């Protein structure tokens, strides 16, 4: 694989990041206003945005991957949410997403965060993420995404439980998770 650089996203990267995320997530029927690529811009003005944990993967100055960690809470315990993670389709299955996640988790732990949660599939278990349900962590009672909620504990024993809340940018105008 070519020389990949993982770095903090700069303000002037936003349009290129949106293009990467749109390439990775756009499907027929996607909402034009509430989607992953519009979220990329929206979250930058959210109090939950952490510039140091907004990451890009670049090859020869071309942004080919993106990963965001933002503030989240479980009950009253502060931590992070991971996502979206996006890699240009032509660069997928080459370890770019893995490098972004490894780098971001290491930085989050160094910065003293206690846990990282996400909604996603089995891909994330390779990084130590496990079912949040077994710790009594849910998005809300009977939420359809509860089985996909995963957590990785960084600096604490597993004493966190309750309702998971992402930063405000993760929700549409009706309060529904994007």
Q: How far apart are the first and last CA of the chain?
A: 33
CB 127 within 8 A of CB 101: yes
DSSP state of 30: -
- Residue 175 has what pLDDT? 80
For residue 26, what are its two tokens? 């756009």
Q: pLDDT exceeding 70 applies to what percent of the chain?
A: 92
Question: What is the pairing mode between strands 115-119 and 137-138?
Answer: unpaired
- pLDDT, one tens digit per residue, over 37-74 is 677 878 888 999 999 999 999 999 999 999 999 999 99
Sequence-distant (6+) residues with CB within 8 A of 68 are 40, 43, 53, 54, 55, 82, 83, 84, 85
Report residue 99's pLDDT band, with 50, 70 and 90 as the boundaries: very high
Is the bond preceding 113 in cis, omega lying within 30 degrees of 0? no
pTM, rounded to two decimals:
0.90
Of 50, 76, 164, residue with least CA distance to 117: 164
**1 pLDDT higher than 60:** no
Q: What is the mean pLDDT of residues 156-176?
A: 84
Question: Distance between CA 178 and CA 170 in Å, rounded?
Answer: 6
CB 37 within 8 A of CB 178: no
């Amino acid at each position: 694989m070519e020389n990949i650089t993982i770095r903090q996203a700069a303000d002037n990267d936003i349009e290129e990041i949106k293009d990467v995320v749109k390439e990775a997530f756009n499907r027929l029927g996607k909402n034009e206003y509430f989607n992953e690529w519009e979220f990329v811009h929206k979250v930058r003005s959210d109090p939950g945005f952490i510039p140091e944990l907004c990451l890009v993967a670049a090859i020869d100055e071309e942004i080919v991957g993106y990963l965001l960690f933002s503030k989240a809470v479980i009950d009253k315990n502060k931590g992070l949410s991971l996502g979206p993670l996006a890699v240009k389709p032509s660069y997928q299955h080459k370890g770019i997403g893995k490098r972004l996640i490894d780098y971001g988790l290491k930085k989050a732990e160094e910065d003293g965060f206690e846990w990282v949660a996400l909604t996603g599939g089995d891909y994330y278990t390779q990084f130590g993420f496990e079912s949040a349900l077994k710790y009594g962590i849910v998005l809300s009672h009977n939420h359809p995404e509860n089985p996909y909620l995963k957590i990785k504990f960084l600096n604490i024993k597993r004493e966190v439980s309750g309702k998971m809340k992402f930063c405000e940018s993760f929700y549409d105008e009706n309060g529904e998770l994007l």
